[in-house]
Structure 1
Amino acid sequence: MKKKALVALYQYNQVASSSRIVWAKLGYSRLLKLKDSSVYVPTWIFAVRGKNSSNITLHRINAFTGSSMKNGSTASDTSSLDATVGMMWNAID
């Protein structure tokens, strides 16, 4: 499953060929926000570092459909990213 998600990441042109995948985790991401609750979906989360950059970008692939999910998280080290999304995959590891 992780391999298919990684292939999808490249198919959606979210990762340059010179980039490095730092880690990949299975977690949950919010799919819908309703008035009093939210709907979450299993998601493959990839941390990607560019060839000439120390920044790490998170990319998410829906584990059910294989579609790319909107993303906006970047950081200069993985520890701050772990704090940002850490709770999403702790129950799955």
Structure 2
Amino acid sequence: MGQLAPYPASTKVSWPLNRLLVTVAAPPNWDLILPIMQVGQLSALCVGRNLERPYMSLLLQGISARIASCPTHQLRQMLDFAGLHKIKPIVETYPMTEE
């Protein structure tokens, strides 16, 4: 799988993020995420490899971070357990409106 192209330098956001949940199978490009964050919370989960943590950038921006990674073999064990016991996810969906 190829890498995504970085955002252009002119990328603007309507307002900075104060909460962000990142769930990925590969480490994200923090250089794209951190500039659009303000003081707030960042929660990240990475499956399959260690997630590099940009500690200094987080500290300087006043961002509280909860970052965890899960090894592939452990994920496989969890999925096998869920399949064996017929555990199904519960999915809630919400409209993406501004209201």
Whether TM-score is above 0.5 comes out as: no
Shorter-chain-normalised TM-score: which range?
A: under 0.3
User: Greater relative contact order (Cα 8 A, min sep 6): structure 1 or 2?
Assistant: 1
Higher strand proportion (structure 1 or 2)? 1
| Larger Rg belongs to | 2
